[in-house]
């Protein structure tokens, strides 16, 4: 897999008949090691190990309803009180992080109403703080820590 712009981490990867699988410690099972999954697993480790997000307050591939359709968001982090506070959309390293990608995560937020949104392809990472009252956003210079998202 491609080297990412994230701290290295140890992932449990195994070879199977149709490629490779990685153990997802959040979903507690092996999943197909696609380029997007590679980004997701590395980013999850970054969130827990570097940014202080408690593992028990992160949901992976959380289902949500959007205009009658069932969608899945990649990473959803919760506050200590159980409120969703951060939504992260992961893309494969080959996918450019365009306005369309940010619009996707913003659409998911119509349902979730979280104060922080982020997108990553493992090489670039963008995060924004959202004002839910006036629908404005502020791009952040750094990815928000758990301490920061917990203050909202």
Structural domains of the chain, with CATH: 13-150 (3.90.1570.30)
Each as own residue / partner, the long-range contacts of residues 41-45 (CB below 8 Å, 24 or more positions apart, any chain) are 41/9, 41/11, 42/4, 42/6, 42/9, 42/11, 42/122, 43/6, 43/75, 43/88, 43/90, 43/120, 43/122, 43/125, 44/75, 45/6, 45/7, 45/9, 45/11
107 or 125, higher pLDDT = 125
Task: Report how far Cα 66 is from the mean position of its chain's Cα atoms.
Answer: 18
Confidence of residue 19 (pLDDT cuts 50, 70, 90): very high
**pLDDT value, residue 111:** 84
71 or 79, higher pLDDT = 79
Q: How far apart are CA 58 and CA 60, in angstroms?
A: 7
pLDDT in tens, 52-78: 999 999 999 887 877 777 888 899 999
**pLDDT value, residue 67:** 76
pLDDT in tens, 81-100: 999 999 999 999 999 999 99
Nearest C-alpha neighbor of 139 from the set 121, 119, 111, 112: 119
Give me the chain's average pLDDT, please: 92
């Amino acid at each position: 897999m491609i080297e990412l712009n994230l701290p290295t981490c140890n992932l449990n990867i195994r070879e199977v008949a149709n490629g490779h699988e990685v153990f997802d410690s959040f979903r507690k099972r092996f999943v197909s090691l696609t380029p997007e999954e590679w980004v997701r697993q590395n980013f999850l480790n970054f969130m827990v190990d570097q940014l202080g997000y408690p593992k028990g307050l992160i949901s992976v591939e959380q289902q949500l309803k959007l205009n009658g359709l069932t969608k899945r968001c990649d990473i959803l982090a919760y506050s200590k009180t159980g409120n969703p506070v951060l939504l992260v959309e992961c893309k494969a390293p080959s996918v450019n992080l365009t306005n369309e990608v940010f619009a996707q995560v913003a659409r998911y937020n119509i349902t979730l109403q979280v104060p922080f949104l982020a997108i990553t392809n493992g090489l670039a990472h963008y995060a924004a703080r959202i004002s839910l009252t006036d629908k404005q956003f502020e791009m952040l210079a750094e990815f928000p820590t758990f301490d920061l998202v917990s203050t909202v």
